[in-house]
Amino acid sequence: MTVDAPPRPAKGKKSPRAVSLARKWWGQLTSMRTALILLFALAVAAVPGSILPQRSVNVENVGKYFTDHPQAAPIMDRLWLFDVYSAPWFAAIYGLLFVSLVGCLIPRLREHVDAIRRRPPDAPARLSLMPQHDEWESGAGAAKLAGVLKARRFRVETREHADGSVTVSGEKGYLRETGNLIFHFALLGLLVGVAVGALYGWHGNRILGAGADAAFCNNLQQYDDYGLGPNISAADLPKFCVQLDGFKAEYLDNGQPVTYAADVLYGEGGEAPTEKFHLEVNEPLRMGAANLYLLGQGYTPVLTYTDAQGNTQVSRTPFLPMNASMLSEGVATFPDANLSATGQRDRTRQMAFEGMFLPTAPEQAPYTTSLFPDSRNPGVMLFPYVGDLGLDNGKPGSVYALDRRQVATGQLKPMQVGFFLKQGESKTLEDGSTVTFTGLERWITVQARSDPGEPVVLWSAIAVLAGLLPSLTVKRRRVWFRVRGDNVTAGGLARTENPGFATEFGDIVASAKET
Amino acid sequence: MGDVNATYASLSDKLFIATIVLYAVAMLGYALEYAFGRRAVKAEAKVLAGAGGPDVTEEETAGGHVNERAERLGITMNQANRAGQVALVLTWIGAVLHAACLVLRAVSVGRVPWGNMYEFIIAVVLVGVCTWLYVVTAGHAARRIGLFVTLVAILLLGTATRLYTEAQPLVPALNSYWIAIHVTAAVIASGIFMVGFVPAALQLIRRRYDTVTAKGGRLRFPITLGARLPEVANLERLVFKLHVFAFPLWTFGVIAGAVWAERAWGRYWGWDPKEVWSFIAWVVYAGYLHARATGPGGRRLAPWIVILGWLTMIVNLFGINLVVTGLHSYAGV
């Protein structure tokens, strides 16, 4: 180990052109000016994501935008305008910003570590040239003057000089740069945390109906939609099962919701769901390896269909709410209606009901709107269809809506005009079959999610704040005394903007004079 | 659950009107002082003369008129300054009624009084007015600058009347103790940013005024306002002080919002429009703090960045709540 730094390579030696060019660009990139420009570029780049629909926020809206703007949307999509925050140009901006940050921080870190390890520098030759200075006669001596600074928590160094004078150097406010460095490194920490979450996190959303039959266990087939980080596979998903036991919503008289609360049962590590939990919007279920959130809720009208041959089937398909009054739309399908004599599905005589559910139906027609979100007078408006439901043609379809392609091709036809049923009522159709609105069930939308980056992000955010405060409020300053016999000179230098320094220096000098 | 005390709620509405009226009268008083009060130069002369014997020049000018127009209107400097004093007292009373208006709302619905946009704006302006009262009491700014602060306050409160929402309990997503943490931080930071915007704009006017008068050029409104404004350096320091205070609060507000978002929506950050614009505002204000530390060029730019920052706050408040639909759509309108 040597104390002296190794000699630098002689400047006169020609460095290759490329190296000097790279050095020049590196200097440019790590300058504060560039950082500022990148900062503003980042702000501007974030704007389109708040105006245009984003896939990460709402996929349906992106689809709608494509239908509304068939010309522009594909071009915009190629520019990543529907995935702004995962766009390469967005990543380029913050990537450069963070590179610039690191380039700026590393030298500053080295400098600051040096400054902390070094003793406060000796007094300049002429303290009367300092922005703050004073001179007086006193026999107090250097030790007492040093005591004044120490009492004010300055870092103090006393030096004796060959000419018999003694200097006292004090410096304070190192925390400013410490905080500054913590703040900026914590921003890097945030980025790391976000990256960990993106690589190793996963989530899945699904509708969960009430009862043991509707319970689900954590695997991808069980989710309506899901997202997996690139470093995690379906096999890595933790084991847990969840069952909805009951759901309750409370509303004000004007229909504004006040509470949504679901009672769920869960079991971890492959156990049956027996543990109870009261799930609310702001009260997620925190299991060991994943969290479960309550995101939405709705109704399932239970419809019983008895075909002309007397065979009965029950449909329990969730209806999806369309507005705040919980007017919901959905479909009830009966693929096994009108089976052939041999028990085969008859693809010309399958049955479906497209419908609207009204939790509080008006007393008389038109039954197009719900008066209240709670189920005070539940009713369904049903439109029967007969024909091929398109379930067996191999194409993926939604279970919450009719396959419009089947309707368009005429393979699935409206059977008769729509009709309205209150809970408990039945209707006999033209072919002699009957449909009954037998009951009402509740469902909830849950999201299961795991984001292993969260602790990193949280601690980085705390460090951001912890670093920010001293970096803005602490002031770095130096104060010196020089003692020559009974003559004392004092000087002060604020190393950062510090309008109150003159007052502080005055106070220090006043207490120094008293000792 | 869900009971609203109608008496308190309607009293709160009346206090809201009273607050606006008081601020408007106060603004008039500040305006009188601004236009016809003692010149800043004279005030400096007083300080200098005050160190010596009796302040003769001050006695003479105080009873006189600041300019011909003041003479024609018959307003002496003393009267104008008294108008400023009255304005400050009215601002204090206004702030008390303003606070009472929010407290009664809170009592009438039994929750924090910033559950929708109407309440949010009222709270932000209250913080702004209180910040201003602190600034003027601590001697960081001349009283007559209250003209511009009350102007901004009245404009914002006036907008709030267009967004009036009946007192109501919270929707489930907002029903968490995090509203007291996240929204309170956002309200306080926004209020201080609001007051910080005022001296930044004034700083630009004064700077322009100084340049034009140095060249002997002709002044036009609003640059003419610069004649009665504090020195650029003083305004600049005030802007910085306010933002140094507000920026960490805003940072905390965003972080608290992320923690709450994780609880309520399952993710701490999802680029919801409100989140996007909070991020943009944060980046812009961070840019201001950096620009200030980047030499004279950056310092010249700094007040413009503050203006830009306040614009992003306004976009976030009005644009995002009223135009774009997102998870933060709680405007109640």
| Domain residue ranges in chain A | 19-114, 122-173+475-514, 197-298+447-463, 299-442
Cβ(A388)–Cβ(A352) below 8 Å:
no
Helix (H, G, I), strand (E, B) or coil at B332: coil
- In whole angstroms, what is the distance from residue B203 CA to residue A183 CA? 29
State CA A143 to chain mean position distance: 56
DSSP sequence for B136-187: HHTTSS-GGGHHHHHHHHHHHHHHHHHT-----PPPGGG-STHIIIIIHHHH
- In whole angstroms, what is the distance from residue B220 CA to residue B208 CA? 11
State pLDDT tens for residues A18-74. Answer: 888 888 888 877 788 888 899 999 999 999 998 899 988 888 889 899 999 999 999
Section A328-344 average pLDDT: 89
Would the CB atoms of A253 and B290 count as touching at under 8 Å?
no
Whether the complex's predicted ipTM surpasses the cut of 0.90: no
Task: Give the helix, strand, coil percentages of chain A, each rounded to 5.
Answer: 35, 30, 35
| CB-defined contacts A:B, below 8 A | 127
Measured between CB atoms, does A194 come within 8 Å of chain B?
yes
Section A317-323 average pLDDT: 92
Question: Angle A472-A477-A483 (CA atoms, 0-180°, nearest 5)?
Answer: 170
Could you tell me the pTM of the whole model? 0.88
Q: Which residues of A touch B312 (CB under 8 A)?
A: 43
Chain A nearest-CA distance from B40, in A, is 22
Report percent pLDDT > 90 for chain A: 66
Amino acid identity at A443: W
3-state secondary structure A258-321: EEEEEEEEEEECCCCCCEEEEEECCECEECCCCEEEEEEEEEEEEEEEECCCCCEEEECCCEEE
Identify the bridge partners of residue A481 per DSSP, sorted by sequence position. A168, A490
Identify the bridge partners of residue A286 per DSSP, sorted by sequence position. A291
DSSP sequence for B275-302: HHHHHHHHHHHHHHHHHHTSHHHHHHHH
User: Is the pLDDT score of A441 beyond 90?
Assistant: yes
The closest alpha carbon to B226, from B289, B117, B127, B145, belongs to B145
Measured between CB atoms, does A21 come within 8 Å of chain B?
no
Compute chain B's Rg from CA coordinates.
22
Cβ(A352)–Cβ(A412) below 8 Å:
yes
Which letter does DSSP use for residue A327 in this model? Answer: -
Q: Which residues of A touch B265 (CB under 8 A)?
A: 293, 295
Main-chain dihedrals φ then ψ at residue A271, nearest 5 degrees: -85, 155
Would the CB atoms of B255 and A203 count as touching at under 8 Å?
no
- Dihedral (CA of A88, A92, A93, A98) sign: positive
The closest alpha carbon to B185, from B273, B123, B103, belongs to B123
Amino acid identity at B282: W
Tally DSSP H helices, then E strands, for chain B: 12, 0
Identify the bridge partners of residue A166 per DSSP, sorted by sequence position. A160, A483
State CA A58 to chain mean position distance: 14
Binned at pLDDT 50, 70 and 90, residue A152 comes out as: very high
The first and second tokens of residue A488, run together, are 């004392």
pLDDT of residue B331: 61
Which letter does DSSP use for residue B37 in this model? Answer: S
Would the CB atoms of A293 and B171 count as touching at under 8 Å?
no
Instruction: State how far the alpha carbon of B57 is from the alpha carbons of B34, B63, B64, in Å.
Output: 21, 11, 11
Which letter does DSSP use for residue A137 in this model? Answer: E
Task: Give the helix, strand, coil percentages of chain B, each rounded to 5.
Answer: 80, 0, 20
Would the CB atoms of B324 and A465 count as touching at under 8 Å?
no
pLDDT tens track of chain B, all 333 residues?
A: 446 778 888 888 899 999 999 999 999 999 999 988 876 444 444 444 334 434 444 444 556 777 777 777 777 888 888 999 999 999 999 999 999 999 999 988 888 888 888 999 999 999 999 999 999 999 888 899 999 999 999 999 999 888 888 878 788 888 889 999 999 999 999 999 999 999 999 999 999 999 999 998 888 888 888 888 889 999 999 999 999 999 999 999 999 999 999 999 899 998 989 999 999 999 999 999 999 888 888 899 999 999 999 999 999 988 887 877 777 766 665
Pairing of strands A426-428, A477-484: unpaired
Binned at pLDDT 50, 70 and 90, residue A8 comes out as: very low
Would the CB atoms of A33 and B294 count as touching at under 8 Å?
yes
Break chain B into its structural domains and give their ranges: 171-333
Of B273, B284, B290, the CB nearest to A35: B290
pLDDT of residue A4: 42
Q: Which of A274-278, A415-419, B45-49, B206-210 has the lowest mean pLDDT?
A: B45-49
Would the CB atoms of A39 and B259 count as touching at under 8 Å?
no
pLDDT of residue A3: 40
The first and second tokens of residue A397, run together, are 């379809």
Of B168, B266, B279, the CB nearest to A284: B266
Which residue in A33, A36, A104, A190 has the most chain B C-beta atoms within 10 A of its own C-beta, making it the best mutation to test that interface?
A36
Q: Which residues of B touch A458 (CB under 8 A)?
A: 259, 268
Measured between CB atoms, does A32 come within 8 Å of chain B?
yes
pLDDT of residue B6: 82
Q: Which of A202-211, A229-238, A390-399, B60-69 has the lowest mean pLDDT?
A: B60-69
Cβ(B48)–Cβ(B56) below 8 Å:
no
State CA A137 to chain mean position distance: 64
For A122-173+475-514, give the CATH class.
alpha beta
pLDDT of residue A13: 56
**Burial class of residue B69 in the structure, from the number of CB atoms within 10 Å of its CB (0-12 exposed, 13-18 middle, 19+ buried):** exposed
Chain B nearest-CA distance from A393, in A, is 37
Helix (H, G, I), strand (E, B) or coil at B316: helix
Average pLDDT, chain A: 90
Chain A nearest-CA distance from B82, in A, is 31
Of B172, B248, B266, the CB nearest to A293: B266
State pLDDT tens for residues A291-300. Answer: 999 999 999 9
Of A46, A252, A457, the CB nearest to B276: A46
**Left if phi > 0, otherwise alpha if psi is -120 to 50, otherwise beta: which for A307?**
beta
The closest alpha carbon to B135, from B53, B220, B237, belongs to B237
Measured between CB atoms, does A468 come within 8 Å of chain B?
yes
Binned at pLDDT 50, 70 and 90, residue A2 comes out as: very low
Cβ(A412)–Cβ(A385) below 8 Å:
yes
pLDDT of residue B295: 81
Binned at pLDDT 50, 70 and 90, residue A465 comes out as: very high
pLDDT of residue A421: 94
- Dihedral (CA of A392, A397, A399, A400) sign: negative
- In whole angstroms, what is the distance from residue B148 CA to residue B230 CA? 13
pLDDT of residue B39: 62
Section A351-368 average pLDDT: 91
